[in-house]
Structure 1
């Protein structure tokens, strides 16, 4: 009889269940990792709310994608890792052979391989991810810190794609986990950050993670005017990052950027969402609009270095800690904002009951 483990399985919209299932086994080129820490994520919450993700998963499926742990089993042919190694395994890996990969856009790989199932005692790491996107965690780096690599890699790519340079002024709309991560990564890169936040408790967090100025939406008569007033001569920001994913905030972003500036629509609204933009301002203002999706192996390694170097405030960013049995309640609370989990930036889930 195969050994069993506990795992969180998503069955549909707001339907997340803990189940007993067989512990995975490593095939050729694969690893089985004992999960040391998995992190809650805005993307996971979005999937929980909608019941699916068009690219990453279709229920029923093991849930969660940000993790680090210890190698439990090594498949045939794997030489880079051994049992007992502490690793962070990213949630995807590109093929490096398709049109997009050959054009330096591995995040758009036509055969992008995703992996889910972080909220579990064990997870199987597919061979391609083992080969291209699994990294050894140095001694002394908590596994929950290493698990921050995946979301930070997406943010790093967003900054790179936005042409961010030291001295630029950047507005970040939204102070959820990704918005705060953008603020901190931008501060580390030498940018001046202005945060636009919705809730009072987010003001302090925005300042902690690098915002020099904060606009509280409910306290401003005109959010766009209040934000532009904080920029040099009121001309608008060099870069605006939209990290909320609503039509209103997409429109704010375009109105907050300066002439010749760039807007990165980082937040992904539901399919079919429409926005209204001032085409005259876009054209005569020579404004660049772009969107960033996911990460690449290169930005994963840049993010990993930020985490392991100690430059990123990992301890301050992970504000909640829980056991695997609490995962369904965590997501229900985040969804309905009716418990303490809703105010945490990120919650670290420890399947074995404590940090390693």
Structure 2
């Protein structure tokens, strides 16, 4: 089978691999689609994702496909089932797992990060992280359940009320998803701030969000204004902007993944005076079912956000930064015919 392998830092290579053999508790998935995200860019550049990726490794932690084989101990899946896989595999034994915070697991294993993932024609995953896809959800849409689940976990950390106004800073794929989920959860008004006129117009057209071009008109984001501010960029300037934009009693969610060495300045008096809650968020503990339900109901629709469909040969164009203007890129492995 064909596999796209990270063989070294900043080097991807298409290789012929043997089809993996399932262990008793595993499912073999014939990959249909595999999403590419900022984490893959980081791993390609030698930076950590949810964990460190050690070459040679097959990336691809966002994926969908069809069950091709099941291990002897698998009970809930059969050959031919349409599935998506939560990449994060928890140890269930460490302090954080035993205190209901598995996302902080000290021994986190992850499909497409620490073990081979969806950038190959077939991959394996433990049954516990495999999920059935409803009939009305395409394999293409199901390939991005993982980023939806990360956005859903982030929103779960907020205290939401219908009267609230929300600002999402960052028009990347996750920022756009978070805006949709905030709307689905009943927030009165959602504003999306970004740097791409095309993305902002697309979101205004499909989802009715207010939009601000944060590159051209940053002063349009007024200080002390929003009940909820989600920073989905990961840069010091937008992190500082998020704290400024929050109203009294506001909540600031730091979603964007910054450089490990980056810091930002915060006016501690304003945090005190405005009684702000500043919250971090990490991966997606047990939010796959909610994310599948959001897709099934139509409350979240990722398809208008997918801008680029790639093959293995062009993935490096994206993760190296050569491919510009991307809203969301996914890799067609077998497609809907998997």
Same fold (TM over 0.5): yes
Paired residue secondary structure (2:241)? helix
Q: Which sections of structure 2, spanning at least 5 residues, go unmatched?
A: none
In the alignment, the residues of structure 1 paired with residue 261 and residue 238 of structure 2 have an alpha-carbon distance, to the nearest angstrom, of 16
Displacement of 1:295 after TM fit?
Answer: 0.7
CA deviation profile, 1:251-309 (whole Å, cap 9, x unmatched): 11100001111111111211121111111111122111110000112x11101111122
Distance 1:142 1:53, change over 3 A: same
Quick one: which of 16, 20, 23 aligns to 2:19?
23
Which position in structure 2 is the counterpart of 1:264?
Answer: 253
Paired residue secondary structure (1:289)? strand
1:246-257 superposed matches below 5 A? 246-257=235-246
Contact 1:171/1:239 (CA < 8 Å) preserved in 2?
A: yes
TM-score by length of 1: 0.87
Distance 1:270 1:69, change over 3 A: same
Which position in structure 2 is the counterpart of 1:345?
Answer: 327
In the alignment, the residues of structure 2 paired with residue 139 and residue 252 of structure 1 have an alpha-carbon distance, to the nearest angstrom, of 42
Which position in structure 2 is the counterpart of 1:227?
Answer: 221
CA deviation profile, 1:125-155 (whole Å, cap 9, x unmatched): 1x3xx12x21111234211111221111111
In the alignment, the residues of structure 2 paired with residue 272 and residue 316 of structure 1 have an alpha-carbon distance, to the nearest angstrom, of 34
Moved over 6 A (4+): none
Displacement of 1:54 after TM fit?
Answer: 6.4
Which position in structure 1 is the counterpart of 2:192?
Answer: 195
Contact 1:13/1:52 (CA < 8 Å) preserved in 2?
A: no
CA deviation profile, 1:328-354 (whole Å, cap 9, x unmatched): 33434xx134xxxx3332223222366
TM-score by length of 2: 0.92
Displacement of 1:312 after TM fit?
Answer: 1.7
1:280-291 superposed matches below 5 A? 280-291=269-280
Which position in structure 2 is the counterpart of 1:331?
Answer: 319
In the alignment, the residues of structure 2 paired with residue 86 and residue 25 of structure 1 have an alpha-carbon distance, to the nearest angstrom, of 19
In the alignment, the residues of structure 1 paired with residue 244 and residue 46 of structure 2 have an alpha-carbon distance, to the nearest angstrom, of 29
Which position in structure 2 is the counterpart of 1:231?
Answer: none
Hey, which of these two has a bigger chunk of helix by percent? 1
Q: Which sections of structure 1, spanning at least 5 residues, go unmatched?
A: 229-233
Quick one: which of 299, 302, 313 aligns to 1:314?
302
Contact 2:136/2:296 (CA < 8 Å) preserved in 1?
A: no
Displacement of 1:27 after TM fit?
Answer: 1.1
Displacement of 1:188 after TM fit?
Answer: 1.6
CA RMSD in angstroms, aligned pairs only: 2.0
The aligned length equals 333
